[in-house]
Amino acid sequence: TLLECLATLLHESRRTGAALAVVSADVDDFKLVNDTRGHLAGDEVLRSLVATWRSAGHGPPPVIGRTGGDEVIVLLPGYDDARAADWVARTQAASTAPWSAGVAVAGTNDTVHDLLHRADVSLYAAKRARHRNGAAPDRRLSELHSPSA
């Protein structure tokens, strides 16, 4: 499972001193896609994002797991704060679907729960900031998978 993988990577990070970043990702307007275009279209949005995320790394491949409808966790072994922030920026720019992200980097005494919690808190802070700033995607996600798009 994703949690077991995170536990293993966290243990390895502590043992070797290698960095480990956890990205909590949430696809913007995902419910709208499922409600207007169907769940197969929503699954295609996720597949497209996963392909972008997998191709964007430099080093060990990311470990990606879906934790809810539009919520995904991406584990980035070997990534510190700066490298994880760069990965998020590059993958958001390369993605056809808009998504929000929160990042947490493993500290010496972190547990799996600590990392996931911090990544989620960071995600919701990013979503609030995006909402406050009025940032909206160029195209609504529901339009990305319509017959005319």
Q: In the numeric block, which tokens belong to residue 10?
A: 């966290």
Q: Is 70 a catalytic residue?
A: yes
How far is residue 85 from each of residues 23, 79, 81, 104, 140, measured CA to CA in Å? Answer: 9, 9, 6, 10, 24
Given the residues 26, 29, 70, 110, select the one marked as catalytic: 70
Q: In the numeric block, which tokens belong to residue 72?
A: 């995904």
What is the separation of C-alpha 19 from the centre of its chain, rounded to a whole number of angstroms? 17
Contact 101, 49 (CB under 8 A): no
Contact 113, 87 (CB under 8 A): no
Q: How far apart are CA 30 and CA 49, in angstroms?
A: 12
Q: Which of the residues are catalytic?
A: 70
